[in-house]
Amino acid sequence: DTVMTQSPLSLPVTPGEPASISCRSSESLLHDNGYNYVDWYLQKPGQSPQLLVYLGSNRASGVPDRFSGSGSGTDFTLKISRVEAEDVGVYYCMQGLQNPFTFGPGTKVDIK
Amino acid sequence: QITLKASGPTLVKPTQTLTLTCNCSGFSVSSNGVGVGWMRQPPGKAPEWLALIYWDDDKRYTPSLKTRLTITKDTSKNQVVLTLSDMDPVDTATYYCAAWIGPRPFDSWGQGTLVTVSS
């Protein structure tokens, strides 16, 4: 199975400040079609996960532009340009290239 | 507006078969490019992908559970059903269904249903 790792696992943030989460995969997620099959989800407290970014860098519908995804191959990053209080929760990366699809362990973001 | 709702028993006994139903609205499970997947999430842990069925009835299963899983869809009811046989206490988790719309994987998730396996 493709193993997804994330760092940090816990990220205290200050509202208005930037934040960054790293995701690494054990195998390249770059398909021959040029797309990186990595997605980012946010699970707010008590809620179901919600899609933030798909195929590495595409924001899902309704996702604020303060969220951005980047990276290629095995190294990926989710950046929040200016954290807001509503951004707290657990962030997961997921690879959708190989069966089984696999999630990272999650990065818990909370307010300092 | 896309909505999904997972339903099923909240408590099952070891060795029993779990049957979960995902009622979908706001999209058709038979529309080109659409898929519905199931994930589960034990308390305090990351989600685990289980199965995915596409509009054309193509199916994918996680290899570790493939012998125990079955995913089907009922286009007349716009539902997707997941069965997991031979349940064990380690299968205790919140089970979610989610829609895969075109290039957007698991674009919308249902609310999840907590299933506890205990005698």
Chain B residue with Cα closest to A59: B104
So what's the pLDDT on residue B50? Answer: 98
Chain B residue with Cα closest to A5: B46
Give the confidence band of B104 by pLDDT, cuts at 50, 70, 90. Answer: confident
pLDDT of B99 > 90? The answer is yes
So what's the pLDDT on residue A31? Answer: 96
Per-residue pLDDT tens for B37-80? 999 999 999 999 999 999 999 999 999 999 999 999 999 999 99
How far off is chain B from A98, nearest CA to CA, in Å?
A: 10
Give the confidence band of B94 by pLDDT, cuts at 50, 70, 90. Answer: very high
Contact between A54 and B105 using a beta-carbon 8 Å cutoff = yes
CA nearest neighbour of A1 among A86, A94, A102: A102
Give the confidence band of B102 by pLDDT, cuts at 50, 70, 90. Answer: confident
So what's the pLDDT on residue A35? Answer: 96
B82-97 per-residue burial string, b: 16 or more CB within 10 A, e: under 16: bebeebeeebbbbbbb
Phi-psi region of A46 (alpha: psi -120 to 50; beta: other; left: phi over 0): left
Q: Which residues in chain A show pLDDT less than 50?
A: none
